[in-house]
């Protein structure tokens, strides 16, 4: 097990025929890529292919991986998806922002064909979502809010106040009592960002 040179996240390491993908790597289109920034390690298995792992430097960037719950801020919406910036992985703040997309079909678990993006999110909403794929070259992560615990956790009303969730699909301004549609998260306390 000898540490090799440092690698960037998303860097292509080798053909999947030459080695097995270990921790900190993933396989796509027949190649092994680094899923985080860190040192490449090659561990030889008895007679089999060597296992490639990328071990994070203590200082290097934490990256959202598939299955991680992330906190993100909505930047823009259209009829097909919401664009977001990922701010936290779990409760760890990210040093740099990653872009993510929540597609219309990934907003809810049920009645997906009836979902309307603008009734689920608005720009500047803070949303809890789960990473469902590592996206593409633009490091655009695909996110889902299809579970009850996921969705909007903080939203401001037109009056600029933090709205209160009143149902799984509505939030209300405490001053004007105006209701707005949202895909509201049933928040678990460990995910609340203060």
DSSP 38-67: EEEEEE--SSSPPEEEEEEPTTSPP---TT
**Count of C-beta atoms within a 10 Å radius of residue 176:** 11
The pTM (predicted TM-score) of the whole model is: 0.66
Assess contact for 13 and 7: CB atoms under 8 A.
yes
**Which residues are paired to 56 by β-bridges?**
38
pLDDT of residue 58 exceeding 60: no
3 confidence band (pLDDT: 50, 70, 90):
very low
In the chain, which residue ranges form alpha helices assigned H by DSSP? none
Domains of the chain by start residue, with CATH? 6-55 (2.40.50.100), 68-151 (2.40.50.140)
pLDDT of residue 2 exceeding 50: no
**Count of C-beta atoms within a 10 Å radius of residue 37:** 20
Assess contact for 164 and 157: CB atoms under 8 A.
no
The pLDDT value recorded for residue 63 is 74
pLDDT of residue 194 exceeding 70: no
188 confidence band (pLDDT: 50, 70, 90):
low
The residue among 40 and 176 whose pLDDT is bigger is 176
Assess contact for 184 and 151: CB atoms under 8 A.
yes
Burial class (CB in 10 A: 0-12, 13-18, 19+), 30: exposed
For 114-164, what is each residue's pLDDT tens digit?
899 999 999 999 999 999 988 655 558 999 999 999 999 999 998 889 999
Assess contact for 132 and 106: CB atoms under 8 A.
yes
pLDDT of residue 29 exceeding 60: yes
């Amino acid at each position: 097990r000898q540490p090799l040179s440092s690698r960037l996240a998303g860097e292509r390491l080798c053909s999947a025929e030459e080695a097995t993908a270990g921790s900190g790597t993933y396989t796509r289109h027949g190649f092994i890529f680094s899923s985080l920034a860190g040192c490449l390690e090659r561990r030889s298995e008895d007679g089999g292919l060597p296992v490639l792992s990328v071990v994070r430097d203590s200082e290097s960037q934490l990256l959202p991986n598939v299955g991680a719950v992330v906190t993100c801020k909505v930047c823009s919406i259209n009829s097909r998806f919401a664009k977001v910036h990922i701010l936290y992985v779990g409760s760890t703040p990210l040093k740099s922002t990653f872009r993510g997309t929540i597609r219309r079909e990934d907003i809810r678990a049920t009645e997906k064909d009836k979902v309307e993006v603008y009734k689920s999110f608005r720009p500047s909403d803070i949303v809890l979502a789960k990473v469902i794929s590592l996206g593409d070259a633009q490091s655009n992560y695909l996110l889902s809010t299809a579970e009850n615990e996921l969705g909007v956790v903080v939203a401001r009303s037109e009056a600029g106040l933090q709205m209160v969730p009143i149902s799984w699909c509505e939030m209300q301004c405490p001053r004007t009592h105006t209701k707005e549609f949202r895909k509201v998260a049933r928040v678990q306390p460990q995910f609340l960002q203060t």
